[in-house]
Amino acid sequence: MGAGPSGLLLSQILHLAGIENVVLERRTRAYVEGRIRAGVLEQGTVDLLDQAHVGERMHREGLVHGGIELCVDGRRQRIDFEDLTGRGVTVYGQTEITKDLNNARLLAGAELHFEAENVSVHDFGDDRPWLRYQLDGREHTLQCDFVAGCDGFHGVCRQSAPAAELRTFERVYPFAWLGILSDTPPVSDELIYVRHERGFALFSMRSKTRSRLYLQCAPDEDLDEWREARIWDELRLRLGGDLADTLQSGPLLEKSLTPMRAFVAEPMRFGRLFLAGDAAHIVPPTGAKGLNLAAADVRVLSRALIDFYATGRTDQLDAYSDRCLRRVWKAQRFSWWMTSLLHRFPEGTPFDHRLQLAELAYIANSRAGATTLAENYVGLPFD
C-alpha cells in the first residue's frame, strides 16, 4: 500500500528477488512525483538504492557531502563527518528517488495502480489477507500473503490495526518550517544549520543550481504574508556574516509550511500487516531522518520476506517490529536533540537560551561532542 519511496523501494527489491507484488496508490503518479520532501541520504540508504538497481542517476546527479556547518548568531563552525566517522551523506531529492523507482517498476511491467480508491484491508490476522478497492470506477478484490502498509500517516493500514493492540506516542512542537525551493545556486557547498535569536534557518540544496531553504515560523503562519522579498531578507538576517551578502535571491518554485511533530506507532506488525515509513513513524526534519528511517524499515522487511519465501521461516518477520523500533527511537532522540538545540521555543527562558549556546559551544570545541552529532547524522550502523 502506497507508491511513495518506501512502497516502491520494497516493491522493487521483492521484484528482483522474484517475489510477485502489487502496489496500490490512492493519488495520481504526477501528485506522488511532485511532492517536495527530504533530500539527505545516509550511506545505508544509498547502498539500498544501489542494491535495488536504481542508483545510477543518484550517483551522477547527487551531491556527496563530507560535513555540515553550524551557524550560531552569524559565526560558522564546520562539523567534519568524514574525519569524525569516515562517512558522509548524499544530497539527492526524494522527488527524484520516487521518479527513479517509478520508472524502474513500470519498465519491469509492475502491477502499479494509481488512483486506487476506497481501499480496505481484511483478515490480516489470518494466513490469507485480502484487500478491496476501486479502480477506474470498478470494484476489485486482491488476495495476498502479506500487506505492507507504506501508505503514510493518513493511510488506511495503520487505521485498520486493532485499537486494543496499537499504542501511539506523539509530540507536537510549537513552531513550523516555512520552506522554499528556488532555482538559485546554494550559498554554500554544504548544508548550514542556523541558530539565531529570531529562530532557526536551514540552507540546503537539491543540486548545484537549486536551493532548498527553511525558516522557523509559527505553526499557524499565513503564507500569503510572506512575500518573496520578506523571505530573502529574513534568510540573510538569520544567516548573518559575510556569507549573507552572497545569498542570491530569485523567483520561488515552491513555498510551503511544514508542521514540526514526532510520532511513533507500536507495534509495527499486526499479523500479516506490516507498517513501514510514515505509516509507523514521523520525525521532525531537523535530523534528516524521515526518508532514511523508511529505507531502514524496507531493508528489514524485504530481507524478512525474502527469507520467508526461501525457507518458510518466520523468525525475521517475527522480529521486524522490535528491530525497526530500536532504530526509530534512536532517530527520534537525535531529531529531538537537534530540534531542541537549534530552535527558539516560545516558552524558552534566558536560562534555556544560554544552555543552547553552551551545548553548541561544546559541540564546536569538543571532538567527542562533534562525533556524537556526526555519527547520528550520517546514520547509525544497522544491527
Catalytic residue positions, numbered: 65, 193, 285, 289, 377
Q: For the chain, where are the alpha helices, taking DSSP H only?
A: 5-16, 29-34, 43-51, 56-61, 81-85, 94-107, 156-160, 228-239, 290-311, 315-342, 350-365, 367-378
Chain centroid, CA 177 distance in Å: 15
Q: In 3-state terms, what secondary structure has residue 122? A: strand
Report the alpha-carbon distance of residue 165 to residue 149 in Å, rounded: 16
For residue 237, the cross-strand partners are: none
Q: In 3-state terms, what secondary structure has residue 58? A: helix
- Which grid cell sits at 315? 523468525
Q: Let me know the angle formed at the C-alpha of 33 by 29 and 39, rounded to the nearest 5 degrees.
A: 160
Q: List Cβ neighbours of 26 (8 Å cut-off, separation of 6 or more).
A: 115, 116, 117, 119, 151
Report the alpha-carbon distance of residue 285 to residue 204 in Å, rounded: 12
Report the alpha-carbon distance of residue 345 to residue 37 in Å, rounded: 24
E-only strand ranges, 150-303: 167-182, 192-195, 201-205, 211-217, 252-266, 269-270, 273-275, 281-282
Is 290 exposed, middle or buried (CB count within 10 Å of its CB: 0-12, 13-18, 19+)? buried
Q: In 3-state terms, what secondary structure has residue 275? A: strand
Asked if residue 320 lies in contact with residue 159, where contact means CB atoms within 8 angstroms, the answer is no
Sequence length of the chain is 383
| N-term to C-term CA, the chain | 26
